[in-house]
Chains A and B, each alone.
Chain A
């Protein structure tokens, strides 16, 4: 589904140039759950941002199914993103002024889904995420685990083909973290492709494949046999 070739990204400040991605090649099949690991500053988040069309690389190619995404303009990128991708962040990134329901509804609004249908979709996902009794609450009234559930719900409500998760358990204790990981696995089992950046090998053990980055290079790729066997 995703073919990334020779991706290069350089951050420039007044004094220094930092190469964040240095000729990355990466293929992700539909329905795969891929973890990206590596030390701080190795370029994992940059890679995820590029994949989420939140950042532009200097060169290379990024094909999604058969569409080359790097040649799109801002508006086309927005459109592509909202139709095909969902995001889960380490720090949840919910809008404080909106309730749980409204936060989840937001991507549907940008996708121009009619109000009635929006309501059904949001209620469905709220039920699935087991946060029905929280739907009128504001983010600051929820625990971290609950907030991340809302964030996952928001990422899934548009039924995206690809979910990008940036250290989704980074701000959670282990039990809440596990809950979120299980949620992502369930999701993956229903066919959604997931790419997750993580520091935690425990979290990575939930995925099919683990890619290790260092200094902007892919230094190793490992098939997670236990998980694959589990699936078989």
Chain B
């Protein structure tokens, strides 16, 4: 019987091969998208899952009344381990806070993140140096490892695992350091590094004020974590309160608590951090499911539309003694075969699209991977879509009454008519939402790219530098003047400056400043002469820093408009603002500029040359004439060791506009995703419409023939056939507009600087869908219109 059913199925599919290929093709494309989403979802939710103690590891963080942080101090881990028996192990790690250079002959490695970890943390985090994790013993205080990739950069031909001595900094620095071997840097982990130094203990001698470390604890299985959290908070307060007498401080300490954040939360939704990646993942998953559902709807729709053709078969089989259950399974099996075929196609499509997908999300997924979760996910998906797409038609088809259908008294019931139409409306609604979304994302991005930033990033070159500059010079730093003089000698370079921060979206430091008795917190950026000129920032009042005023390196400050507004200053130039024990004289007010991109509002900021509380200035920026850019860069590269001898021979630079452009990356990703989704949903919906219109038109051939005989013109027939579809598409637009309005409005609200919600996308989406519908339906209608009416009636 199976063989015979298979035959019927295959012959049926072949006879309706256009519809079949539309059905299978559409599903395959949607399924490919879904497979990618599933793979991405699996990847994103399984960071560190290979750690054998995955479920028992927690990060210990701190909660202040106004913020949460994962940074803790070294003694805390030890105290936790000593006090609570349910804590099996506790350790700390410290990120590398600046990039440094490592050399082996001509091979250079720029290690952005050379981490430190104590042995306990290394054990908890399942770090795997080649040859196994070793505890530093005896005189050896620390064991340093390079990630396998980093090791390859420095020692491309290394095959053994013997220790190596590497040069630190520039070749002439003479500093060397021992690397004990290589270590696996698991990119699918929250803990990644270029290199790591594992100590028996790290952060010795540091007290509870040094919150530069991350504390990991591993608890015994079955531990009551909420209870432990409370106990740890108590412990933390007690430790801080030791020897404290100041009542205000005591009160402050009592307001601090701690939290335990599972390792599984770290990648997507850390308690101290934002859960945007998690939200994006959820949004993406919903999107994947929607696309698949739409493709399944095509299946359901077409299968029911085909019902008339299959009704006779059902009737005959029932007369022959087939049970309803047998017929249901037969139809399900047919749909299963199509779904299976679609799945195979989908895998091929997914494999073809994967490079772009990987590139877009900066990951490295692969379909053909041995321990790929797809092995069990795929059959599950297959069964699921077979059920979603097939169960309703299977039940409808198998439920036909033979006495009716064999007499030809068959018409699709009203119920399924409504169902089919509502499914079509649903499909188009989703497509419309994506189209509107895409238009609005495009508009916002266009706005971001064209809007005045308040500074000019074009032709500004940012040079990566490790020399510390300060003016006036403090311990270990240099004055930038000599470097600037040498740089400005190169033709084409208009200005040069150094600062603590470049306007690339990074957050600035904050500190308290007092103006006319009002204390408030301001962002601070420590700059050097020509900072504003290099970035082409507009002056509102007063002046920029200038070498002709000797006081500028002592106590001059420039503030921005937001700072003026924050203090409610009137005529601020010449007035004094106090911070870090210096009475700064405000010499100028600049217009606000969007250093942090479009998502956050411009912060009230103070710019000073001297700031004892600030950081060292390392970020060099040059303004270079466009037509001399290439020459100037070549000269800089050649002369860099002489210009900036402490930085060494490595001249590395980036264009500031590209750096700033990275701020749009998230939006550009979203744009790509929406573009693909809009295209896919509209494509699948149109495919469904195409096939659906074909069936509807076929079903109305006799009606059309009669109308033609009675004198209907071609146009009238076109109108007749298009009308019901147009109503559905218009309905879809009306339904999706409020949804799209709410969603896009919410999205736009994440930007401090945004467009007003435009009306045009809503109109355009209606126009696009209507146009596509008319074209699609008319192609089908044309055949019916052009046919000779006599043929249709004779057939009848």
Contacts and interface: CB of A to CB of B under 8 A. Distances in A.
Contacts of B1: 109-110
Contacts of B142: none
Given A54-B403, A110-B1, A93 B7 contact: no
A91 interface: yes
Interface in A48-66: 49, 52, 54-55
B403 A74 contact: no
Interface string A85-98: 00101010111111
Interface stretch (B113-121, B133-141, B310-318): B310-318
A94 B408 CA distance: 13
Nearest to A81: B321
Contacts of A97: 7-8, 11-12, 15, 313
Interface residues of B, number: 25
Contact of A45 (B316, B402, B407): B407
B324 A52 contact: no
B322 interface: yes
Contacts of B402: 54
Interface string B283-319: 0000000000000000000000000000011011111
A97 B401 CA distance: 20
Contacts of A110: 1, 317, 320-322
A219 B8 CA distance: 45
Nearest to A154: B320
- In the complex, which of the residues A78, A94, A95, A98 has the most CB atoms of chain B within 10 Å of its own CB atom? A95
Contacts of A83: 321
A49 B315 CA distance: 12
Contacts of B770: none
Given A78-B323, A93-B312, A97-B11, A55 B317 contact: no
B319 A95 contact: no
Contacts of B323: 74-75, 78
* Interface bin, chain A: 20 to 34
B408 A78 contact: no
A168 to B, nearest CB: 13
B406 interface: yes
Interface in A78-136: 78-79, 81-83, 87, 89, 91, 93-98, 102, 105-107, 109-111
B4 interface: yes
Nearest to A74: B324
Given A102-B7, A106-B4, A55 B321 contact: no
Nearest to A107: B320
Contacts of A107: 320-321
Contacts of B408: 91
Given A74-B324, A78-B323, A93-B406, A106 B312 contact: no
A95 B322 contact: no
Interface in B307-362: 312-313, 315-324
9 contacts: A74-B324, A78-B323, A89-B406, A91-B406, A91-B408, A97-B8, A106-B316, A109-B4, A110-B317
Given A83-B321, A97-B11, 4 more contacts: A82-B321, A97-B12, A97-B15, A107-B321
Interface of A: 45, 49, 52, 54-55, 74-75, 78-79, 81-83, 87, 89, 91, 93-98, 102, 105-107, 109-111
**7 shortest interchain CB distances as A-B pairs:** A82-B321, A97-B11, A54-B403, A110-B321, A49-B403, A107-B320, A97-B8
